Structure 1
Amino acid sequence: MNNTDTLQSKETRGFQSEVKQLLHLMIHSLYSNKEIFLRELISNASDAADKLRFKALSNAALYENDGDLRVRLSMNKETGTLTIEDNGIGMTRDEVIDNLGTIAKSGTADFFKQLSEDQTKDRQLIGQFGVGFYSAFIVADKVSVSTRAAGAKKLDAVQWESAGEGDYTIEGIEKEGRGTSITLHLREDNKEFFDDWRVKEVIKKYSDHIGIPIEIWVQEHDGEGNETEQGKWEKINKAQALWTRSKLDISDEEYQEFYKHLSHDYTDSLLWSHNRVEGKNDYISLLYIPSKAPWDMFNRDHKHGLKLYVQRVFIMDDASQLMPNYLRFVRGLIDSNDLPLNVSREILQDNKVTQILRNACTKRVLTMLERLANNDAQKYHAFWKEFGLVLKEGPAEDFSNRAKIMNLLRFASTQTDSNEQTVALADYVSRMKEEQDKIFYLTVDTYQAAKNSPHLEQFKTKGIEVILMYERIDEWFMGHLTEFDGKKFQAITKADLDLSKFEDNNEKEKRGETQRAFESVIERTKAYLGDRVKDVRITFKLSDTPAVVVTDEFEMGTQMAKLLAAAGQQEVEVKYILEFNPEHALVKQMADEADNEVFGRWAEMLLGQAMLAERGTMKDPSPFLTAINRLLTKV
């Protein structure tokens, strides 16, 4: 803040490159409904009022003898301008540069790479990004902002101006009152916003729920209908915080518009829950599930979506202590009567009331999702496609609600022959064979790799369903699941896999004979491969594949090793067990080979095939390729 008694000089500055891209999209009517700019600017003004109210709790002087917070709109047909003015917190020069010249979010460059010529897709992406102020350029060819931070001197006010191209100007001005005034120089094709009735209509539609008065300057008319020089400020909205009203008095449209106000999302929410609790704890919660995942959901600086109010006073955005991390996509607010008005993030962390609110809201969200899953499978599938990856973090993070979370999980499986994750664990258990006591699953890199995995061959033959997992998080995720409905999980790539209970007596007798017949083959292979493998054995789970590699029950699996490597950790060497299919022609040919050198080539080739199928790559492929070439030459 400038403490001198002179105005700061005027300078021209260039926009951050991402802002230029954004402005280009806005100016070319990225939003199909251009009236949306009013909602965005009024929403920002409301936020500024909330922030002032909070800061004034510890410094009442910030009100500057004007405690009646409001937003005012006025239109001037002669100058072709529409002005939106608030008496909220205002901004300093540095805050103006940060807020209006820069998009201060990590990952914005990657975000804009997603933008394309497809405006429908871009509209959804921009809606997730939340860029309220820049929507002014949908209707204006020039925007002027004058602002003074609450508590600052009159000469510390700032004026920002831009035509929405490559740069903007900023200079010091004198401003009597605190807050921000945004003047839009409307284009010729947007004259509709000079009409009182049109602006009132938009405010009623989008901003009726705003908790402070929204006033519009209405010109008085004489007896013949002509405008006079007289006029008055007319309040347009209810000016009552929506969440304090009865649910019976709030329409679905009002809930949706309030969601957009809270989240700056362009799309409607998927569902919501509005709840008032009175008694030992006194609070109101209004929680929304978005229909689209925020673009930065997996960024480290992604903010939680809950706002905290205490006794109707806004306290903070991003109240992460009130919702577990795996539900960070939830938007909404909590208004508590039990927390102190001077509550800080540090106090929230250790506050007993915080834990009660967190537990209650977590259960409410999980119950919302449970009802959605039970009543509308199609809608729940849409939710899962957007947020399933995040929900998978739940079993590791929230032990007390693990059972509820597990009922919400969805997977692909061999039953559906599709990569769509629609199978619930309860569905799987209901289809289990009578003698089956485990839930079988497979984790790999892609759905195609899962679908065509050699580990599935006997499961397909015996008609046993296997859950297919192909997302990076899955191996870690399964490490936190032990059982469901009394059935333990079994990875089909582990050496302790036993399918003998699905075999008849003839198959079991044949297995014993085969194992004895292949003892010498196993020993010769072990002698050749040495410590390159942990063990060699035969398996009866294959039909079309000659060999696979598996890991011991407590050995790190392939996918976990890949996950750690991708995270930059030191590569872990996985010790594999090589398993032969004794019924396969190649294995039989190897078993009949008396020449140890040729036998070694067969072992090398079969190990290489198995490693490629399991890992998709090899550290040193030369022994494998040499063995194949020499065997082909012999043929």
Structure 2
Amino acid sequence: HFGLGFYSAFMVSKKVEIHTLSYKEGAKAMKWTCDGSPEYDMEECEKAERGTDIVMYIDDEEKEYLEKNRISALLNKYCRFMPVPVIFGKEQEWKDGKYVDTDTDKVINNIEPLWTRTPTELKDEDYIKFYHAIQPGQEDPLFWIHLNVDFPFTLTGILYFPKIKNNLDVRKDRIQLYCNQVFVTDSVEGVVPDFMMLLQGVIDSPDIPLNVSRSYLQADRNVKKISTYITKKVAARLEELSKKDTKAFEEKWNDIKIFIEYGMLSDEKFC
């Protein structure tokens, strides 16, 4: 028995091998081999350094997963913010009229994305730079909300207010859901109210059940609490802005009024 993450290796491979060596003194390296059937082989093998290697023998019809661009795209989508370094290829430098590989490993992910950091150590420029990294080609956001709560559920993230004006574009890919910094989905219906789909950003929580239906999500106790918390947090942020700098808030009104009106009509917790 093994988890879905490892099981997925057999979806594209005709055979999978695991080579592993314990850190313990005198340990022997072992190799586990399986073709996806209930049977497997295990034997001693040669391995000089401690650790584990997973070797996948890709099926002929799945050769696209050996292409550098395909691998890079998948890593960028799912592992862009993983909390451990992910190495893919080598850093390059310009030499003799072309790019060549160096001896330095290329780390493709940011292990400390903005939403994991303390808001007090961040500047506006940091938030704006991160916004353009996850939403390239967009205008600067109007303002943002940094979410950070660890009881009675764990939730972090950053939600941005884009310039909405009269464009009621409730797209399903504006907010990205992560679990412990691993990308899960950008379809967050059931996790946040529909009117929140006008916002953009990232939410990260290990307390949101994965691989379940929308109806199950909406009935989950933690998801209900998280949805309510986000709604109240957004409402409180808008109220704070309106009182702190009324003139600036009024100047932004045409860009956000459709969001506020939609929220008030669709969710009483937002009122």
Q: In which range does the TM-score fall when normalised by the shorter chain?
A: 0.5 to 0.7
Tell me how far 1:364 sits from its aligned partner: 0.7
C-alpha separation in 2, matches of 1:388 and 1:251: 26
- The 8 Å contact of residues 116 and 157 in structure 2, kept in 1 or not, is answered as no
Could you say if the C-alpha distance between residues 63 and 154 of structure 1 is closer, same or farther in structure 2, counting changes exceeding 3 Å?
A: closer
Query: Does structure 2 conserve the Cα–Cα contact (< 8 Å) formed by 1:218 and 1:233?
Result: no
1:345 aligns with 2:217: no
Alpha-carbon offset, residue 238 of structure 1 = 4.5
Aligned match of 2:188 in 319, 335, 356? 319
Q: Which amino acid aligns with 1:180?
A: R
Q: Render the CA deviation track for 1:477-522: whole Å, top value 9, x for unaligned.
A: xxxxxxxxxxxxxxxxxxxxxxxxxxxxxxxxxxxxxxxxxxxxxx
Retained in 2: the 8 A contact 1:270–1:289? yes
Counterpart of 2:177, as a letter, is: L
Name the structure where helix makes up a greater proportion of residues.
1
| Distance change in 2, residues 1:264/1:63 (3 Å) | farther
Taking the aligned partners of 2:165 and 2:58, their CA distance within structure 1 comes to: 36
Aligned partners of 1:151, 1:367: CA distance in 2, in Å?
A: 53
1:211 is matched with 81
Counting only pairs closer than 5 Å after superposition, residues 552-631 of structure 1 correspond to structure 2 as none
Distance 1:289 1:266 in 2: 12
CA contact (8 A) 1:220 1:228 kept: yes
Contact 1:306 1:331 (C-alpha < 8 Å) held by counterparts:
yes
Change (3 A) 1:220 1:58: same
From 40, 51, 66, give the equivalent of 1:176: 66
Structure 1 partner of 2:158: 286
- What amino acid is the match of 1:293? I
Distance 1:335 1:153, change over 3 A: same
1:196 corresponds to which residue? none
Residue in structure 2 matched with residue 376 of structure 1 by the alignment: 245
Shift of 1:156: 5.1
Residue in structure 2 matching 1:268, options 136, 140, 144: 140
Q: Map of 1:306-455 to 2, 5 A cutoff?
A: 306-402=175-271
Whole-Å separation in 1 of the counterparts to 2:223 and 2:147: 17
Q: Which residue of 2 aligns with 1:298?
A: 168
- Structure 2: how far apart are the matches of 1:294 and 1:366? 18
**What are the ranges of 5 or more consecutive residues in structure 1 without an aligned counterpart?**
1-54, 67-149, 159-174, 183-209, 222-226, 403-635
Q: For structure 2, list consecutive stretches of 5 or more residues without a partner in the other structure.
A: 18-55, 73-79
Aligned-partner SS, 2:139? coil
- The one of 243, 258, 265 aligned to 2:130: 258
Name the structure with the higher strand share.
Answer: 2
Note if contact 1:326-1:390 (Cα within 8 Å) is conserved in structure 2: yes
Summarize the alignment of residues 82-231 of structure 1 with structure 2, pairs less than 5 Å apart.
Answer: 153-154=59-60, 157=63, 176-177=66-67, 180=70, 210-211=80-81, 213=86, 217-218=91-92, 231=103
- Distance in 2, Cα, partners of 1:157 & 1:286: 37
Paired letter, 1:243 = W
Q: In the alignment, which residue of structure 1 is the partner of 2:149?
A: 277
State yes or no: 1:59 paired with 2:8. Answer: yes
Is contact 2:155–2:205 with CA below 8 Å preserved after alignment?
A: yes
Distance 2:199 2:133 in 1: 14
Cα shift at 1:355: 1.0
TM-score by length of 1: 0.29
Contact 1:57–1:341 under 8 Å retained in 2: no
**Which of 1 and 2 has higher RCO (CA within 8 Å, sep 6+)?**
2
SS in 2 for 1:385: helix
Distance 2:101 2:156 in 1: 46
Matched position secondary structure for 1:320: coil
Q: Distance in 2 between matches of 1:396 and 1:157?
A: 50
CA RMSD of aligned residues (A): 4.0
Task: Give the aligned residue type for 2:8.
Answer: N
SS in 2 for 1:369: helix
What is the SS of the residue equivalent to 2:70?
strand
Percent identical among aligned pairs is: 24
Whether contact under 8 Å (1:220, 1:232) holds in the other structure is no
1:366 CA drift (Å)? 0.9
Moved over 4 A (4+): 62-66, 154-158, 212-216, 227-230
Bigger Rg, structure 1 or 2? 1
